[in-house]
């Protein structure tokens, strides 16, 4: 597999080919995913929960993300690598540009920010400074205290329409990829069709251009409550390499996520 770029993902969307993505935090697992041909890896602030043992992502620092981005980059030569901008690391323009530079210098190909059209100028500023940006709508974990917990978003028509408009505005601002988390399948379909950029889903049905899972969920090694949208591919195969291959083939075929892993 040649090196994956945003142009590769755009061509996949145009061709109707599904994009496989997964979170990664270290060189060893990154190498396994890279050798399997994983298109996208995300150094997510989910590390605060699955690695550090916190109840949410809020304690994660920019230095945490930069460190793990360096580790993953060493193990993954070909994948498109996205790094999360953690909580309050993009509250001001000065913070945003400095922190994004740190992640790009650590080996990221793109940074991810959570939020709607209020990020318009922030995204524009990053793009103008040659930093590719991935947006994130729906259940944005950094807003867990605003939502009152980890809850499905966009279930009423007003909120759904608002999210569609946010997606359009984020694309206009310059994002090149969009993550939709924990939203009804019908809404995910509407957003995917409303924008020209690739859309990656997690708990958003099988109608998006691709899927992402937290690696610990995909391998059944998370502690605590298992998300409805996850599937234990390791339990089905008994081998990490086979589990990764099965995950990617099920995404490619459109078999994952099924209705039981989606929200209506």
158 is known as an active-site residue: no
Q: How many CB atoms lie within 10 A of CB 168?
A: 14
Q: Kindly report which listed range (166-170, 174-178, 260-264) carries the lowest average pLDDT score.
A: 260-264
Please give the model's pTM, rounded to 2 decimal places: 0.96
Please provide residue 131's backbone torsions phi and psi, each rounded to the nearest 5 degrees: -110, 110
Average pLDDT over residues 122-146: 92
Give the domain ranges of the chain. Answer: 6-261
- Looking at every residue in the chain, the average pLDDT score rounds to 95
Q: Residue 101 pLDDT more than 70?
A: yes
pLDDT at 143: 79
Average pLDDT over residues 77-89: 97
Confidence of residue 144 (pLDDT cuts 50, 70, 90): confident
Which member of 181, 193, 236, 260 is catalytic?
181
Question: Which H or E run includes 80?
Answer: strand 80-84
Q: Map residue 137 onto helix, strand or coil.
A: strand
Length of the chain: 264
Q: How many CB atoms lie within 10 A of CB 73?
A: 21
| CB-count burial class (<10 Å; 0-12, 13-18, 19+) for 4 | buried
Instruction: Supply 143's token pair.
Output: 């807003």
Q: What is the pLDDT of residues 179-215, one digit of tens each?
A: 999 999 999 999 999 999 999 999 999 999 999 999 9
Instruction: Supply 93's token pair.
Output: 């323009």
Separation between Cα atoms, residue 101 and residue 106, nearest integer Å: 8
Q: What is the pLDDT of residues 213-256, one digit of tens each?
A: 999 999 999 877 788 999 999 999 999 999 999 999 999 999 99
Contact 112, 42 (CB under 8 A): yes
Under CATH, which number does the domain 6-261 receive? 3.20.20.60
């Amino acid at each position: 597999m040649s090196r994956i770029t945003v142009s590769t993902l755009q061509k996949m969307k145009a061709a109707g080919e599904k994009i496989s993505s997964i979170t990664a935090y270290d060189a060893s697992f990154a190498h396994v995913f890279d050798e399997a041909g994983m298109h996208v890896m995300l150094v997510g602030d989910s590390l605060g929960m699955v690695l550090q043992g916190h109840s949410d992502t809020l304690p994660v620092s920019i230095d945490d993300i930069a460190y793990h981005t360096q580790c993953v980059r060493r193990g993954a030569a070909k994948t498109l690598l996205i790094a999360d901008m953690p909580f309050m690391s993009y509250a001001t323009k000065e913070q945003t540009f400095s922190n994004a530079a740190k992640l790009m210098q650590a080996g990221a190909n793109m940074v991810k920010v959570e939020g709607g059209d209020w990020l318009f100028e922030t995204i524009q500023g990053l793009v103008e400074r040659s930093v590719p940006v991935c947006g994130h709508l729906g259940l944005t974990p950094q807003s867990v205290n605003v939502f009152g917990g980890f809850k499905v978003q966009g279930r009423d028509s007003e909120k759904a329409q608002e999210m569609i408009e946010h997606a359009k505005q984020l694309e206009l601002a310059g994002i090149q990829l969009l993550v939709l988390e924990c939203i009804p399948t019908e809404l995910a379909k509407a957003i995917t069709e409303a924008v020209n950029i690739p859309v990656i889903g997690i708990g958003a049905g099988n109608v998006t251009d691709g899927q992402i899972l937290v690696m610990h969920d995909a391998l059944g090694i998370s502690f605590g409550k298992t998300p409805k949208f996850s599937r234990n591919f390791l339990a089905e195969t008994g081998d990490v390499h086979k589990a990764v291959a099965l995950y990617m083939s099920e995404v490619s075929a459109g078999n994952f996520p099924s209705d039981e892993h989606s929200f209506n």
